[in-house]
Amino acid sequence: MMAQPQLEKKAPARARPPLTGKVVAALCVASFAVGLLLSGWMPLLSAPISSRVNKTSAPGCDDNRVSKGLAGERHDPKGIISEVSRTHHAIQSLDKAVSSLEMELAVERARSGDAGAGAAGSSKDLQKAFVVIGINTAFSSKKRRDSLRETWVPSGEKLRRLEKEKGIVVRFVIGRSGTAEGGGAADRALDAEEAENKDFLRLDHVEGYHELSSKTRIYFATAVATWDADFYVKVDDDVHLNLGMLATRLAKYRARPRVYVGCMKSGPVLSQRGVKYHEPEYWKFGDVGNKYFRHATGQIYAVSKDLAAYISVNQPILHRFANEDVSVGAWLIGLEVEHVDDRSMCCATPPAVRFADCEWKKRAGNVCVASFDWSCSGVCRSVDRMKLIHDACGEDQAAVWGVAT
């Protein structure tokens, strides 16, 4: 007798770790989408089979009825288009769900320290918030900060209560000076101001006007590693802001993924040396005289949680252009992002006019989110005029406490 072939012994399988909740959710979404896909294409697959059955049908089958049915299917393009459309939407939904899960996974890895230094722990350990508002400021701007504390930035216990009850976090964002590794007089003065007000977010960054793009990247990374918020806002320290209106606007987009909100613009790419906002890499935007892609003006803009996380995870490889607002727009232009052009975030406050644009809108019942002077890229002489603009264009003090966040 021939010897029976012996089966090759296999090494015992390694134990696999249990599936996480996010992986299980992804599998459920994928199964649901595949079900829609199959159900959507079954009518299309059945037509050729029915045609073959019609040709070889046995006596007694009603050939005319089958032929009429097939003819009806062949001449009903609306039904076929509807099925294809359903399948297309199912695939899009699956793609968005998978993208969101991948981004959440990347954020969790970053916060666990797998994607670089400076990350905090899991999102479960972070303070929950609705929106984090980072006010870009400089060492020389103490008077500007004080003008905001006297108007729209809460101080002391009001600031803590706003965070606890409404999930609205407000911080002045600043790095360190370039002198003696941040140990100079400017840093010591800021340390004293921080100890008094407790309203700063300090960055591991050397301050400089031409480093705004780097500062913005680090701001988003630091904020994402500190708070688990739905939105992250960047605003300059010479802009007037109504916190209640901002929260109301952002709440409308809470359920939408990848949202980029601001006053969208498309200015010219300036190739001439020596002019303000000169773009050294102008050649990357095509022929001389071209315009930038649409992006939010840099005075104030908001990004949703997943976009801030994207910037945080990918900050080492995000390119920096000369202008910060262009840089942010470039980081997001190639993604599946919803650009929201909200003109209430750039109401004008003409410096020579007592009754500004934002005041007329307030009188009409359309309180602005943010106001500044385009000619100054902020409120002109903001230290002297911020109180005047706040009185004219500011919302009621109780407005922010009535917003559902």
- Which tens digits make up the pLDDT trace of 189-230? 999 999 999 999 999 999 987 789 999 999 999 999 999 999
pLDDT over 80 at 90, yes or no: yes
Give the C-alpha separation, 131 to 247, whole Å. 8
Q: Where are the alpha helices (DSSP H) in 8-149?
A: 21-55, 63-74, 77-111, 142-149
Give the C-alpha separation, 39 to 128, whole Å. 41
CB 119 within 8 A of CB 228: no
pLDDT band at 105 (very low <50, low <70, confident <90, very high): confident
Q: With left for phi above 0 and alpha for psi between -120 and 50, is residue 365 left, alpha or beta?
A: left
Ranges of each domain in the chain: 127-259+298-401
pLDDT over 50 at 61, yes or no: no
> What pLDDT does 30 receive?
64
Q: Where are the alpha helices (DSSP H) in 252-343?
A: 305-314, 324-333
> What pLDDT does 100 receive?
66
Does 127-259+298-401 carry CATH code 3.40.50.720?
no
Residues 6+ apart with CB under 8 A from 299: 235, 236, 239, 263, 346, 370, 372, 377, 378
pLDDT over 70 at 56, yes or no: no
CB 344 within 8 A of CB 368: yes
> What pLDDT does 49 receive?
42
For the segment 62-74, the average pLDDT, to the nearest whole number, is 49
Q: Is 357 exposed, middle or buried (0-12, 13-18, 19+ CB in 10 A)?
A: middle
pLDDT over 70 at 108, yes or no: no
pLDDT over 90 at 94, yes or no: no
> Which residue reads 């949202």 in tokens?
259
State which H helix or E strand residue 295 sits in: strand 295-304
pLDDT over 70 at 112, yes or no: no
> Which residue reads 């100054």 in tokens?
376
The model scores a pTM over 0.85: no
For the segment 24-28, the average pLDDT, to the nearest whole number, is 62
Q: Which residue has the higher pLDDT, 58 or 378?
A: 378
Distance between first and last Cα of the chain: 81
